[in-house]
Amino acid sequence: MAVPRSEYLSSVWRDGIFNDRVVFVTGGAGTICSAQTRALVSLGCNACIIGRNPSKTESAAASIAQCRPGAKVIGLGNVDVRSPDSLSQAAARCVSELGGIDFVIAGAAGNFVAPLSALSPNGFKAVIDIDVLGTFNTCKATLPYLVESAKQYSGQGGRLLAISATFHYTGLPLQAHVASAKAGVDALMHSISLEYGPLGVTANVIAPGAIGGTEGMARLASSESLAQKAMVKAIPLGKLGTVKDIADATVYLFSDAGAYVNGHTLVVDGAAWRRQGATAVGIDPGMQYPNFLLDGKISDNVKTGREGSSKL
C-alpha cells in the first residue's frame, strides 16, 4: 500500500518541479531519508537509494516508486558508505540506469546512547566512519556528476545535502561520538560550498531535531511516556517534528526557491536546540543532571545498536 502523500509532503509544492532530475540518497531506506526521497519522487524525480541491507533497501525502493506513476527508483543493497569503491560503483550504476545525478542526500548515519566512560574506541570510530567518512565518500563519488548537472541545468541542478544534528552546538551528555561526527559533517559541507560554488554546485545541511516515529528517536529517547512528555514540553513549539517537516525543507533547498542558498545549515527542530541541555537524551523520568552521570545510570528504554549493524 502506498504511503499517503500528506505524510511526507505539504500541498504547497507544484507537481513536476523536479521532472527529469535524479536524486542519489545514502540511507534512503531510513525513516527520514525515505520521506525525503518520496517527496522528491512525487514531484518528478527518479531516485537511487543505497544501503547495506539488500532486502530493506530494495523493499523501500519499491514502496517509494508507488509515489508517482512511471517513477524509476533503484534500490542498491550491499553498499557500505565507508567504502569509496562501493560508493563509486553505486554512483556509476545510478548514472548508467537513470541518466545522471542532479541531487545528492548524504543521510547514512550511526547512533546510540553511551557515556564517554563506556564508549569504546571502536564504537567512537564506527560513528565517525559512517557519518564523516561516509559523507566524504558520498561527496567524492557524486560531485563530478553534480558539476555536470549544474552545467546542464544552470542553477537548477547540482545540489548536495547532508543530514546532520544539533548536538555539537551546545554539547550533550551521552552523545560525544555523534556530536564530534556531526561537527565534522558540517565543516566538510561548508568547505564544499566554497570549493564547488564557483562550479554551480550548492552544498547545504539540514539538522533535524526530535522527529517522531523515527529510528533516531528510538535510539535516543526513552519510551517512557513521562519522558516523552518532558521532551515535548522542552521544545518551544510544544510538539515533535515529523518526517514531512524534513522532506519539505529538502524540497525547498533543491527547488528554484533555494537556488541561492549555499553553505547553510537549516535547523528544523522547533527551536529546541536553543534550550538544549543536559537531559535531552538517554534518560528516564526522575533522572536528573548530573546525578545520573555520577551514578552511572542511563535509560533502559532506548533502542540499542547491539542487534546488528548501523541503520543506513
10-49 residue pLDDT tens: 999 999 999 999 999 999 999 999 999 999 999 999 999 9
Catalytic residue among 164, 193, 222, 310: 164
Q: Which of 237, 270, 266 is nearest to 251 (CA)?
A: 266
Q: What are the pLDDT tens digits along the chain (312 aa)?
A: 689 999 999 999 999 999 999 999 999 999 999 999 999 999 999 999 999 999 999 999 999 999 999 999 999 999 999 999 999 999 999 999 999 999 999 999 999 999 999 999 999 999 999 999 999 999 999 999 999 999 999 888 999 999 999 999 999 999 999 999 999 999 999 999 999 999 999 999 999 999 998 887 777 777 888 778 888 888 999 999 999 999 999 999 999 999 999 999 999 999 999 987 655 688 888 888 788 888 888 888 888 766 544 443
The string of pLDDT tens digits covering residues 76-102 is 999 999 999 999 999 999 999 999 999
Ramachandran bin of 221, using left for φ above 0, alpha for ψ from -120 to 50, beta for the remaining angles: beta
Any idea where the domains of the chain sit in the sequence?
A: 11-294
What does the block give as the cell for 237?
513549539
Q: Looking at the domain that runs over 11-294, which CATH code has it been given?
A: 3.40.50.720
**Active-site pick, 34, 86, 149, 182:** 182
Dihedral sign for Cα atoms in the order 165, 168, 169, 172: positive
8 Å CB contact between 246 and 256: no
DSSP type of residue 156: S
* CB-CB contact of 98 with 25 (8 Å): no
Q: Please write down the HEC assignment for all residues of 222-245.
A: CCCHHHHHHHHHHCCCCCCECHHH
- The count of C-alpha atoms lying within 13 angstroms of the C-alpha of 161, restricted to the half-sphere facing its C-beta, is 33
Active site residue 182: yes
Task: Record the pTM.
Answer: 0.92
Q: Which alpha helices (H) appear in 28-159, and where do they start and end?
A: 31-42, 54-65, 84-98, 121-128, 134-153
Name the E strands within the chain: 22-26, 46-50, 73-76, 103-106, 159-163, 202-208, 265-268
Is 164 among the residues known to form the active site?
Answer: yes
